[in-house]
Structure 1
Amino acid sequence: MAKPRADDEELRKAAEAAIDVGEGKQKIAIAIRVTKSNSIWAKSGRLNRHMSKPRVLALTTTYSPQGQKPKALLHVLKYSSGGVLEPAKLYKLKHLIKVEVVPNDPTGCTFMLGFDNLRSQSVAPPQWTMRNIDDRNRLLICIFNMCKEIMGHMPRVVGIDIVEMALWAKENTPKVTHQVKAQDGPVASVLTQSDSKVTVERDLVSQAEEEDMEALLGTYVMGIGEAEAFSERLKRELLALEAANVHALLGSEPQIQEVLQGLEAATACVDDMDEWLRIFNVKLRHMREDIQSIESRNNKLEMQSTNDVGLIEELDKLLDRLRIPSEFAASLTGGSFEEARMLKNVEACEWLNGAIRGLEVPNLDPCYANMRAVREKRAELEKLKNTFVRRASEFLRNYFASLVDFMINDKSYFSQRGQLKRPDHADLRYKCRTYARLLQHLKGLDKSCLGPLRKAYCHSLNLLLRREAREFASELRASTKASRNPTVWLEASAGPGHTANSADTSNVSEAYSKMLTIFIPLLVDESSFFAHFMCFEVPAFVPPGALANGNKNSSDDNDTNDDDDDISFIDSDGNDIKSNNGPTELGTLNEALQELLDGIQEDFYAVVDWAYKIDPLRCISMHGITERYLSGQKADAAGFVRRLLDDLESRISMQFNRVSIMFGTLEKIAQGDQKHADIILLENYAAFQNSLYDLANVVPTLAKFYHQASESYEQACTRHINMIIYIQFEKLFQFARKIEDLMYTITPEEIPFQLGLSKTDLRKMLKSSLSGVDKSINAMYRKLQRNLTSEELLPSLWDKCKKEFLDKYESFAQLVAKIYPNESIPSVGEMRDLLASM
């Protein structure tokens, strides 16, 4: 090779330091500077230098202590930021299959090395550019020698003239050989520059071949103008020589025999090779199956990874649901209920309601419903709900009481001497509306909390209404000036020539009308406001003010009506609710209204009695006034007001009908026999109806008495039937009455744990009351039959008795199903069939 330059020794030392050759096991054959690039040569033949990077290529041989063949390696070294060489890439020469000089480089200093084990064959290998042709030839000849010596084969050479390479090697390489002991025997090896300072390699061609080539070249020196013509001439002469050689071989039989033997040996080798290929094919098939199995497992792992990512996302969403915002927790557990804080409290309620619904199926995926975290969070939300409901209920009970106490203690709210004061609840309702949304959310959180709140509101407002009615009625009577009319005309002994006083008592009727005008719309408004404010799901009441405007009999400008009941049902999102199941709560509403307004009727009765004492004839006009108000009431709205008007009409009728001494006589007769009073009454009223039926259809005045007798008959029948039923089934219905009384104060689940109402007590009572139920029913029938003197009344009374008993038993069965769900009693259908068969 060409003589190394002075800096090659320093480059070798730097390469040894970077490769860390160790204790002589790895030696550097050559180290040379190159430039690495991936650029494409332009048409001008210039390389784009901006993509070039300085590198150092080092060829090393590694010797194994076990005596194995040495290994040839190609190291690519790069410069660090401090200018120190460090490893960048490592290639094994046994995988080198091609050396190609870039054709676009006119200098011939740029080449590419092709390896068969590169991961991506679609990416072009890097291009290595040398400083000059000598450096290129030094490196490539060293590579060829190593491949031939160690691997026993040469890479494919593209774009390089082997002859020129051989000539260059002969001129620049001293012929020094060195034997290396290998497993297959001594072979020629390469002395590294560290040993002899020159590279010693085996010749690319033998000495004889080289002399023949020189002679051949000398023969054809004359007339050679171009390399292509010379190469074509050599090819033709080579073909002629090969043809002569084949002819000579065929002409010699020994040589033919040797060829045949060689072919047979080659055939045997081919057979062996075929067997090996079959074996390799089996192994490859097994390897392919293994690869498919690995790919299948890899696909499953990828699927599992995707599922894990999806699961984590779902769990993150679930965790976000389980988080309780601190500001809502503070409002629910310890926040104030002042008016300024109500918006925060309502927002906290809406969040809590939504959070509870969000943890319930179907809003929550059923697979999460039984997770421990979900169950614990659901319990935590329930605890939070109970705490807030308890705090809010306690506040509202105290708030209702404080509002009413404030109004009761202020006398300016009530009628005073010389001044009738119309009740004004506008301010009270305005303050209550502040908490209307809160009540609706409380109903959504825990519907059972509304019962005590409704009772507290009814109790407080009842005190205010009764006080207002009492003060108004007292001042109304005191401010009405009217002289008493003599009432001798009512006495039976009054003669036909007696004349009554003609004093004007119309202001008495006007006073009664004013009482109704002021308080009946007020009571209707209060009933409507209470129904909406306390979240009853019932149909709308009569529009406030309509009744008063249509039935006003006074010209008082102050008799206006509050049409400010604008509370409507809304859901947790603030949308109006259109109730379609109103009748389900209508009974509960009427019971609450009874508690709200009970007691106020006494003041109306007092006005009626006062008017009757002044002039009994005023009962006629008062009856008409009451009838007009009564006709304007719906049967399902403000039920207490309708019952109040019914009672007033009945009381007025009763006062007016004191000229009818017949019914009074019947009552006196019945009172003479307490044991059979109801039997005497019902038989006498029945006889009265029978005798008056035809005549009452013709004379309207008598029809009133007929209906009065009919009502009295029904009342007597009901009392007598109930008495007979309770004689036979007293324990059964007393047990039901105890349960009903306790349901106002405790929950149904707690009743079976009360004294005398356990499941054992129920079974004992059922055994004593229903073990011989057919006999008890027969006893009822016999008792009813034994006490009646009018046999024609018995079938209707017995039917009434069976119906009343069945209704009471059905109510009892519903109570048992609600309080003792696992206890079995005779069904209502069985009892109905039994009664039908009696």
Structure 2
Amino acid sequence: MSSVLRNLQQDVFDQSEERLITCCHVSKYLKKKKTSFLCLVSTTSLPYNISIVQVKQTDKQLLKKKRNWSLAELKSVDGHNENYDTLEYDLHLDKVYRWVATSSKERHAFIHNLWKQTNRHVLKDKPMFKNIPKAWITEDALTPENKYVTLPLLALENDLAEDFQAITDKEQEDLKRLMSGCEFAISNAEAFMEILARDLSLLDGENVQCVLASEEQVESLMEQLELAINEADRMETQLNAYDEILCHVRDTMEKMEKKNSMISVVNTNNQLLMQELEHMVTKLDLPEEFQRTLDNADFTSHEGLAAAIKAANALKVAMNSNIDKALLQMTAVQEQRKKFEKYKEKFSRSLSRQINNLFIHYGNHKGESDKSTEGLILPQHSAVHKELYAYMELMHWMKVMDKKIYESLKDVYTTSLGKLYDRDLRGLFNTAREKIEAFNTVSSPTALIGLDRDMWSLETSVQDRKRYDTVLEQVLTQLEPVLLQEQQFCVKFFQTTLDGADLSVEVVPLRKAEKQIDEDVRTMMSNLFACLKTELDLLIDHIKKQDSFYCMYVLVRLNQHVMSAQSSFLSNTFASQLIEVKRSLDQFIQQQIESIKECRLPRKSKVGILSYVSNLEVFATNADCLLKSERRADLEKWYTRLVDTMLEYIAIHSGDQKTRSQVIKMENYHHLYSLLSQLKISVLDNQRREAKQRYNDALQAYVTENFGRPLEKLNTFFEGVQGRVASGVKASEVSYQLAFSKQELRKVISQYPGNTVKKGLEALYKKVEKHLSEEGNLLQVVWRAMQEEFIKQYKMLEDLIQQCYPGSMVSLEFTIEDILHFFSDIARSH
């Protein structure tokens, strides 16, 4: 450790004339690889300054100062705990530095010396030492490097070290001379001490005599001192006088400075007041030219209208200028504002009269129309809008400056133009109804799927329906540009969606205006086109009277136009009508379902294909327009319910007829399955598979029930054989039973020659032909199923003969080829 101290002193602190008191080899907490020396250092000259220095070793193995703190900056020392072996301690300086010493001895010495130096050199706000052993922070504490010295000697050494001063060269020469005069000083110290004491006594006596001899000089000195004191008193009096003069000057200067400050404040306030007045006068100033224009506005010429707009905007700026409330109390300001109010009222009346007359005049406008739409024309009024747009800025001005007149003008516009649009709309819809009525004269058409086709009153052809759809499309197409154009005009001209907006803002584009449609726009459009909803209802009702399936293609058309006229009054109107037509569609399909449930079948005649099953194809053809549109989901939902109801009621209706139940099921499920396969409606895939399964079940049940067992006696014989085998008799030994001998088997087989079997099959074919209907077209299918059933029974009998009568050479008198020939001949002959 001593070598480290020596190196630090020589390499670091000698250069700055500092003395190293102690040091501690440390590292930062959690960074043990980065080590340094924490040193306690003192200056070598008075007054002594103590500092804490961190010294690091560079990459070139040189010691260099990194940080330096004055001892006065130390706020506290935290040893973490009072354990002697703890290595950590914190120094609270400009921030908290947490150190880890390499040895407990160095930590002990550093903290103790730190405490001693703070006690001696820090006079106030001494740092706090906490979690430190009490023995380390006492004056007589031992440190590891001096613990072999007794406490008294250690204290004395420290005191001498602090009071020690080196002797000068002159004092050293005098001491040598004194020592040379007494050669025995070293060998006989007592004798040398006596000599020194004697010499000291002699010197004291000589000093006393010298003092007594210099009494006169002392008195003279005292007189001089008295004179000096008097002179000092005089000088003090003079200085006091000067001080009073300076105080008076200071007070005077302060007063002058205060006056100058007040003058500056007054000047600043005057400037601000002048600026405010100039600003107010500028805002409230209305040029003479604008005043004349406001008094006698000309709205008939282009130049006069431009001048009126400019003057009106200037008046609006002046009247709406932001002036301090205190200035509004000024008489001149109030008089100017009253003057402006008179200009505003006179200009508003003139402008209101001009625009009011224009609105009434344009209420009789004939409009422009396209003659290429076969009489279905809704005239447009873009010319009216174009002429009124010249007054748009003035209308915006009116909205800001005179709300009452603005609202009154809106009412006049909606009343005048409303009559115009009422005339145009009624003409358009009357023409449309006449066109539809000319196509067909059917009233109250009936097309319920559960009724027989001959009970339908639906005489509308596909061509008629296309004509109705075309007329409706033409009407909706005529409505769209006119209403969107009018809405655009209302938004721009009356500024309905930009309430209170600055007139300098650009006009809102059409699409943006449509998105901003609010209640004010809807109210205006509702007043302008008051009869639209009623006329649209009448047109749709008129189509309804001609065609039961109207709700499908009307729904498609309305949906298309709701999408094309998004976020507008027309779109909202179409959407409202769309909801009503959707309800009509729901009612229509519900009526179809109810007609299936209430279907009445003839009891005396053959049933065949049920009416609602055969009518499904017609229904699907008429509903195809809806199925191919964006409203497909509406129909698909009802399709599933409709077909589910059919599947359910085919079974219900088949159980209550003279015709065999399985025949009705078989024919109708087959017909329904075939129709669903043709339609290829994916949402009905489950219903299609269900119909096929039910058809197969009904076919199997019918074949089982009606085919029976053509070889009845043979089947009965072998049932007895199977009974004996089941009771324990071996199959090969059954022939030894008397009742089931080979002779008995040959007798039974002889009863079924080929011609007899064929006659029985011919009778069966006639029976099946009588059961099945021609429209069902299942005779050949059923006959083929019976053929398969007969072959199945034949193979079963052959297998039993081989098992129970092996080697008997007994077999049936006809073969499978004969059976196939019988069935084929019978089918061809019929």
- Normalising by the smaller structure, the TM-score range is 0.3 to 0.5
Larger Rg: 2
Tell me the TM-score normalised to structure 2 length: 0.36
Tell me the TM-score normalised to structure 1 length: 0.36
Write 1 or 2 for the structure with the bigger share of helix: 2
